Amino acid sequence: MKPKVFVTREVFDETLDYLAQYCEVESNQQDMPLTAEALAQRLAEKDGVVCCLTDRIDAGLLERCPRLGIVANIAVGYNNIDIAACTARGVMATNTPGVLDDSTADLAWALMLGTARRLTEVESYIRAGEWTGWRLKQWLGVDVHHATLGIIGMGRIGQVIARRASGFEMKVLYCNRRPVANEIERRLSATHVSKDELLAQSDFVILQVPYSPETHHLIGAAELKKMKPTAILINSTRGGVVDDAALVAALRDGTIRGAGLDVFENEPRLHPGFLELKNIVLAPHIGSSTEATRRAMAMTAAKNLVAGLTGGMPSNLLNPEVKEA
């Protein structure tokens, strides 16, 4: 008998076709967000789940789903999953790293360029019919080329962002829990510095760290004050890494020049102050949202799930000790 699995949100047809070869599949193709109670009910008799970052998989849910053997997240981040609780119950947990690096880096660059050249402001200006002609000092932005780029978090995506900086002839600084290999630094022309030094020297600061208790409000009022008043902050990693209230205040009073954000605290709810600001570019958590990348993410999660349920080793297992036990 095939194992029973549930897919928590709408996915692509080829994902469902692949899963159906190995599993009895139920999918939320209506794409309705599920409450914690609804999710627990749908998973009560399931052997596996393909879930998204909006689905909370915690000890309480696992207690109600004794058959569950694997949680396959369609995301590289996994702060929606209690890994310790999964491990304690012998449940495998997987993610989808690698396939979204380039698309996510592209979005970070889009936010940086859009904020630097004030694209959302000028588009609104044109759409409102306010443009009456060219002026020398009209809509002055800031240059990206030859500027200093500071990257906080030099993992896979941070390195892809840094690689793109060479085309703009930027100086690249980075801070990380530990420096990357010398070979990588040379290839990226990147220099490891302290966070304070990076904040003080950078014209653009891009955050690329996972969310965790250690990175909660990594950028707050104190850090924003260390940045140049002409600097721009980009957050395309996870909400909660930035203190959104402190950022709103910094943008209002000119502590920094601008910000580009793809993620927010308590999303999809936004701090209302963001909507009152003009020196900001806002996007609805679309870092990996290209068709090719999202298809690859969904298929990677499906393959992780199938491997786990058919006795294999999922390629992206977050808690390998479960298989070793």
Strands (E) in the chain, as ranges, are: 4-7, 24-27, 48-51, 70-73, 92-94, 148-152, 171-175, 190-192, 204-207, 232-235, 258-261, 280-282
CA angle (72 as vertex; 71, 78 as ends), nearest 5: 90
pTM as predicted: 0.93
Return the pLDDT at 1: 87
CATH fold group of domain 101-282: Rossmann fold (3.40.50)
pLDDT tens column, 60-83: 999 999 999 999 999 999 999 999
Q: Name the residues annotated as catalytic.
A: 238, 267, 285
When pLDDT is cut at 50, 70 and 90, the band that residue 324 belongs to is confident
The correct answer on CATH 3.40.50.720 for the domain covering 4-99+291-324 is yes
- Please provide the average confidence, as pLDDT, over all residues in the chain: 97
Give span(s): CATH 3.40.50.720, the chain: 4-99+291-324, 101-282
pLDDT tens column, 93-126: 999 999 999 999 999 999 999 999 999 999 999 9
When pLDDT is cut at 50, 70 and 90, the band that residue 282 belongs to is very high
18-25: average pLDDT: 98
When pLDDT is cut at 50, 70 and 90, the band that residue 294 belongs to is very high
Return the pLDDT at 325: 65
CA–CA distance, 82 with 213 (Å, rounded to integer): 13
Report helix, strand or coil for 219: strand
Return the pLDDT at 120: 96
Is the predicted pLDDT of residue 165 greater than 70, yes or no? yes
Return the pLDDT at 323: 84
The token pair at 3 is 């194992």
Closest CA to 294 of 14, 94, 57: 14
When pLDDT is cut at 50, 70 and 90, the band that residue 261 belongs to is very high
CA angle (63 as vertex; 59, 69 as ends), nearest 5: 90
